[in-house]
Amino acid sequence: MIQRRLPTAALLFGALAFLSGCNEKGLGYGDPNSVIAVMPNEQWDLVGPDVFEALETTIMTVAEEKTFTVTYQEPGAKFWDRLRRFRQMFVVGSRSDFYVQEVLEEAHDPITENGIHQIHDVWAIGQTITLLLLDEEWGRDEVLEALPRVHTLLDGQYRAYARNRMYFSGVDSALADTLTMQAGFTMYYPDVYRWMNEDSVYVFRNDNPDPSELIRQVAVTWMTPAPGTMDVEEVVEWRNRIAAEHYSEPQMFVADGLASRSFTFEGNEAFQLQAQWRNPPEQRWPAGGPLITRTVTCDAQDRTYLLDAWLYAPGKEKYEYMIQLETLLDSFRCTS
């Protein structure tokens, strides 16, 4: 039988059990990318590996990192009363299952069709249940068909959560206007970012709450006239030159896990590298993290822009912060 991470999760439950009685709703707990998978034990033995593969996708930051962590829980088993209070639940079953009936009773509107449904605040406040409702004699094929859509749904909601958290302080619209008038481009940063510019290099930085724990930084500059299509080596050389001249600490471009792609961004030719940065060996302490470097050619301005975003988050999961950096890069617009 495949069942992972239950002992680790169980340590949390004793500490948090006081929050609510057995029959009372308390606040949901657990990270928004921690998912409790619920179904009968016999079915889990059949589809467990498929659920892990579909939901625990990975991204490359400084290593392969899971976007979601899945823990299985058998309905009504030893840790059921506590695990069912997690913020994110993936529940699979039919209408005759007692745990599915409890979910359906909390639905805002009656659920009359099988398929994927989301119901909130079933066993805890602030909880989201993603229910895969199936016929009585369901099997592996029905779950396999639905898993890609479940992943797309959960990942999209997590990305929205990450973006909302980033802009919780508000959008610095005054900065966006200043950039439009002063630099010929605009971007939308949260109010907590500070910025500086030197000649045609603009640097935006958020190192709250402590730069020794977390830094998110984006630099923007450009070439005029636009140099035409640039290859990986040319983009890296440009990026390294900006880092050497304008970053507070020296950085080396590291090609471990390098991924590149060409695409069209807002009607403009764009090229992107995702890789890593590290401090040179002679620095006092080792540091590094993931980076995203993007070029965008704006024909109307005859400019090619370089956008360089990097993250320093030692000991932290990085997926949420990478979403935030991508969101900032995607807010970039050429202006006339």
Rounded distance, CA 138 to CA 173, Å?
52
Q: What is the pLDDT of residue 185?
A: 97
Within 10 A of 53 (CB to CB), how many other CB atoms are there?
12
Give me the residues of the chain with pLDDT under 70, please.
1-23, 336
Rounded distance, CA 276 to CA 293, Å?
10
Tokens matching residue 172: 């610095």
Q: Specify whether the CB–CB gap between 323 and 61 falls below 8 A.
A: no
Nearest to residue 270, comparing CAs of 299, 243, 242?
299
Q: What is the pLDDT of residue 210?
A: 92
CA distances to 18, 36, 193, 222 from 14, rounded to whole Å, are: 8, 17, 39, 55
Q: Specify whether the CB–CB gap between 294 and 329 falls below 8 A.
A: yes
Q: What is the pLDDT of residue 192?
A: 96
Q: What is the pLDDT of residue 335?
A: 87
Share of residues in the chain with pLDDT > 70 (%): 93
Tokens matching residue 294: 């993007």
Look up the pTM and report it: 0.87
